[in-house]
Amino acid sequence: MSQIEAEERFRFANRWTATLFAGVACLYGGDLNCFDDANVYPNVGAGVQFILKPKAGIVMNLEFAAGKNDDYGIYLKMGYTY
């Protein structure tokens, strides 16, 4: 499996940022290859981040991502540094 993703962040307030991202993954090996659309998985998404504790670098992140075959996810992450 290989994946590539691009992300752009926008700061719109002192403690708030927004993120847009897009990427694609591919499964390969054995009989699988990246030239078969069934093995290619594109994705797009967006999110917002709020810096909970600026001195400690603690961030809360809410993201929505959509992929192939109407798959999607909503993710809430907390506690990593920005």
11-60, pLDDT tens digit by residue? 999 999 999 999 999 999 988 999 899 999 999 999 999 999 988 889 99
Strand partners, 42: 24
Amino acid at 54: P
58-75, pLDDT tens digit by residue? 999 999 999 999 999 999
| Boundaries of every domain in the chain | 2-80
Quickly tell me which residue has 């798959």 as its tokens. Answer: 71
- Cβ pair 43, 24 in contact under 8 A: yes
Strand partners, 78: 60
Distances, alpha carbon 42 to alpha carbons 8, 30, 45, 47, 66, in Å = 17, 21, 11, 17, 9
Whether pTM exceeds 0.75 = yes
